[in-house]
Structure 1
Amino acid sequence: MLEPAADTYSAWWRISSERWHASFGGNTPAEIIAGFTDALLLPAPVAEPDVWPTLQAAGWTYERDERGNESARHPDSVTTMERRATLTSDYFSWTAEVALPTGLGGHQRLWHAYFDDRTPRHLLAAFATALTDPAPVPRGHYDVPHSHMVTQVERGTQREQLAAAHDARLKAIRAAARKARRSSAPTTRPALAPATETAAAVARGR
């Protein structure tokens, strides 16, 4: 959990541009948010990727209805990702959600994410990749909600390893940010100083 006692129905983390926005609930795993934010530093691909094949390759079931609504569901039926139109318009939006059945026909939401339909597809694809990543993540022994649904492995003290991994991640992000700034910086030629311009004119006159 990113914060204690996070409200599962509120947007704790928001990312937006002039054209699109995304939000994440407080219990959204940090690794999944990082998968999305890391992709912000990468150049957009020439062709936008399709999100659904990533989920299908991980064993999720995919459905599309006659209105164009699309959804994918994890085999455990707890995690879903959807692109749906509202009931009153054809405007689409994306949602991802982890919710447990209550046994009374309802569901208890654990965390969720929301994306405007104008969100670049390579960012959504990065989110889907992080969502389906099978790599284990470090958590405190008693910091895992609904621990019966996960496999926990005792690995002892890992402070040094975690600190080193965190430092490496920060260095990689800073390097990517510097590269992105350099690639987007204007490449205009600096104007000649007056003295230089005069010297150049004299040289041409000769």
Structure 2
Amino acid sequence: MILASPDQRYALALEPENESYSKWWRISCTSDDENWYAQFGGNTPVEILAGFTDALLSTAPETPPDVWPILTARGWTHVRDERGDEIAEHPDGIMQLRRRNPANGWNVSWTAAALLPTGLGGQETVWEAYLGNAPHLVAAFATALVDPAPVARAEFDVPHSSLVTQEPHGRQGDELAKEHAVRLARARATAVRQRRSPLATQPVTSTTPAAAVAAGRRR
């Protein structure tokens, strides 16, 4: 499935694969002032992915935001190595956000991952994301990443459930549907404020955005 924003600025492709650790979601922008793509594994929590996509409705600030304080304010560590690359890590060591800073200044990129120790000195990837180089979107992603609010999940629909705290809750499907409708209405209102068309994705009629997404596909 490929969707495009009304102004054809952004394209989103959803291509589920057999393995949930593969890249399921791909988002791209190929405009004169922005040129990036991002991709997310199937296990990436939808709340974090929504933080990234919701930020597409807002104009990028003239000064790129500083992402690291969003994480360090929640107790994450942040270090910069001798090559200039940076990494922030959750206190328990299973969540990471990285920025690669090549010496030539080209191909700066952000990646995020949830990793679990295997007990044999290695790590198992729960999910990972490639965020390209759009700092305001990375900031929105990071904000959603450290949001302490609980999320709704089916009892047996949580990977590595032993690592999370699960509590029964009385919220029903119709209540969640109403909350989702409110979120969509808020997104549409934001789009109107930004003087864009109301939020309504449509099948791609131009091959330009879709081609950019296809370029990021895993071989």
* TM-score, length-scaled by structure 2: 0.75
- Is this contact kept in 2: 1:3–1:26, CA < 8 A? no
Gaps of 5+ in 1: 184-206
Q: Distance in 1 between matches of 2:136 and 2:169?
A: 35
What are the residue-to-residue correspondences of 1:1-206 with 2, within 5 Å?
7-18=19-30, 19-85=35-101, 91-116=107-132, 119-182=133-196
Residue 96 of structure 1 aligns with an amino acid whose one-letter code is A
| Counterpart contact for 1:15–1:21, Cα < 8 Å | yes
Cα distance 1:157–1:132, how it changes in 2: closer, same or farther (>3 A)? closer
> Between Structure 1 and Structure 2, whose CA radius of gyration is higher?
1
One-letter code aligned to 2:29 = S
**C-alpha deviation, 1:76, in angstroms:** 1.0
The secondary structure found in structure 2 opposite 1:170 is helix
CA RMSD, aligned part only?
2.6
TM-score normalised to the size of structure 1?
0.79
Native 8 Å contact 2:52 2:138 kept in 1: yes
Q: Evaluate the alpha carbon distance shift between residue 6 and residue 70 of structure 1 in structure 2; reply closer, same or farther with a 3 A threshold.
A: farther
Whether contact under 8 Å (1:96, 1:113) holds in the other structure is: yes
More strand by share: 2
Q: Which whole-Å deviations, capped at 9, do the CAs of 1:166-206 have from their partners, x for residues lacking one? A: 110111112222332349xxxxxxxxxxxxxxxxxxxxxxx
3-state DSSP of counterpart to 2:194: helix
1:126-158 Cα deviation digits (max 9, x unpaired): 000000000000001111111111111111342
Q: 1:144 to 1:71 in 2, by over 3 A?
A: same
Distance 2:120 2:196 in 1: 56
Q: Deviations over 1:35-79 (max 9, x none)?
A: 000001012223221000101001001100121110000011001
Comparing both structures, which one devotes a greater share of its residues to helix?
1
Deviation at 1:86, TM superposition (A): 7.0
Letter in 2 for 1:77: G
Are residues 151 and 178 of structure 1, via their aligned partners in 2, closer, same or farther at CA, if it must alter by over 3 Å? same
**Any idea what SS the aligned residue of 1:134 has?**
coil
The letter for the 2-side match of 1:14 is R
